[in-house]
Amino acid sequence: MKRLAILGSTGSIGQSTLTVVAEHPGEFAVVGLAAGQNVKVLAEQVIKFHPALVSVQDEEVAGRLRALLPREMAPEILTGAEGAIRVATADGVDLVVSAMVGAVGLEPTLAAVQAGIPVALANKETLVAAGPLVMAAAKERGVPLIPVDSEHSAIFQALQGQRREDIRRLWLTASGGPFRTFPAARLAQVTAAEALRHPNWSMGPKITIDSATMMNKALEVIEASFLFGLPVDQIEVVIHPQSIVHSLVEFVDGSVIAQMGVPDMRLPIAYALSYPRRLPLNSSPLDLCKTGQLTFEAPDLDRFPGLKLGYAAARQGGTMPAVFNAANEVAVAAFLAGRLNFPGIPRVAAQTMAAHQPQPLESLAKVLSVNLWARNFAQDLINRGK
């Protein structure tokens, strides 16, 4: 039995993870769950999976959770960043599923790595904001970081049995999101509701907006760079609207290995949970005859400048990717709240990056202070309507 701690259990990835767990009785035990404030879903998870440890945002949320649990069910309920760290580093945890949204996932994930616990990584912001720190800690402790993101899982799968030095390039596929074919003028008018309608993947709101702006792909390029130890100039993005080819590895001899499957997050999640084994899943099989066509095209960096920004942030390195990520988080929240238009998201990120002088990223304190600075700067730009 693999003992799991799931950070971000009520989010899209967290819920899919628990679906995979429930489909494989006897394979996994859930020892800890960390969530924010969705007590209704969390209470159902606690009742179904009996974790010994639970963490939520704060005491008020903890009170509401307690009220929803039957009396005989009394997990230890922790709160705040400290609570999430305790869940991530609890005794006997074999694998931490890091699936919180945003930079808030960094501290508990890093704590798990430092405690020597393997991590199934879905929280891309962890590596974007603090890649050098997290990778150094993982190397020092010999901790595997197993990607959950579908593209990185595809690359991870394509690399099994291969030598790192034989890689020429990585190719990340991108669906292009709901606005792939929209002219620039139309992009200025799109609403949050339109942006939340992703054509292929069912995901949480933050990543769905990131997908529409292609900021998600920018974050993924940076994530891949850290995860696979390659400069971003060896990482390419190709638009593939059908989301069947999840990513590809090109080797020095010109051979290209791709991983394919139906777009269902349970697949990369199950692989990360059971690696190097594969768990049977009752997913609908990939029917290539029915799919018919797989198409590919170059991304349009003029209409989707977020992708360019991501490459720029990675090349500047140090604290810049953390700034890029933090500004984007604030801008996405403002867009969802109707306070910023769609092109404003990459604009706020670009302006915040322009105001920042990248520094070496040597400590968690540095990451957190730069993150806070960038959030405040971006928020101020939005408040002033810039």
Question: Closest separation between CB of residue 184 and Mg ion, Å?
Answer: 25
Our separate counts of H helices and E strands in the chain read 17, 11
Contact letters for Mg ion, residues 151-190 (x by CB under 5 A) = x---------------------------------------
* Complex with Mg ion: residue 95 or 207, whichever CB lies closer: 207
x-marked contacts with Mg ion along 95-134 as a string, rule CB under 5 A: ----------------------------------------
> What is the nearest approach in angstroms of Mg ion to the Cβ of residue 141?
26
Angle between helices 106-114 and 80-88 (to 10 degrees): 40
Reduced to 3 states, what is the DSSP secondary structure of residue 34? Answer: strand
Q: Which stretch binds Mg ion (CB under 5 A): 127-135, 146-154, 246-254, 341-349?
A: 146-154
CB atoms within 10 A of CB 144: 15
* Pick 149 or 329: Cβ nearer Mg ion: 149
Q: What tokens appear for 200 in the block?
A: 């292929």
Q: What's the CA gap between 347 and 188, in Å, rounded?
A: 12
Amino acid at position 274, single letter: S
Closer by beta carbon to Mg ion, 201 or else 373: 201
Stretch that binds Mg ion, among 46-54, 149-157, 185-193, 321-329 (CB under 5 A): 149-157
Least distance in angstroms from the C-beta of 220 to Mg ion: 6
Question: Shortest gap between Cβ of 111 and Mg ion (angstroms)?
Answer: 24
CB of 211 to Mg ion, least distance (A): 8
Least Cα distance to 326 among 338, 303, 309, 339 occurs for 309
* Size of interface with Mg ion, in residues (CB under 5 A): 3
Contact between 322 and 374 under an 8 Å Cβ cutoff? The reply is yes
Cα–Cα distance measured from residue 369 to residue 347, given in angstroms and rounded to the nearest whole number: 22
Q: Decide whether 62 or 128 has the Cβ nearer to Mg ion.
A: 128
**Least distance from Mg ion to the Cβ atom of residue 13, Å:** 10
Whose Cβ is closer to Mg ion: residue 210's or residue 250's?
A: 210
Nearest to 147 by CA among 138, 167, 2, 251: 138
Q: Measured from the CB atom, is 125 or 151 closer to Mg ion? A: 151
Spatial distance between the Cα atoms of 340 and 347, rounded to a whole number of angstroms? 10
Amino acid at 350: A
Least distance from C-beta 90 to Mg ion, angstroms?
Answer: 28
Q: Min. distance of Cβ 151 from Mg ion in angstroms?
A: 5
Concatenating the DSSP letter of every residue in 207-268 gives: HHHHHHHTHHHHHHHHHHHHHHT--GGGEEEEE-TT--EEEEEEETTS-EEEEE--S-THHH
> Which letter does DSSP use for residue 27 in this model?
T
258 to 317, contacts with Mg ion by CB under 5 A? Answer: none
Q: Which of 149, 223, 250, 329 binds Mg ion (CB under 5 A)?
A: 149
Q: 220 or 250, CB closer to Mg ion?
A: 220
Q: Which is nearer to Mg ion, 150 or 325 (CB)?
A: 150
Positions that interact with Mg ion (CB under 5 A): 149-151
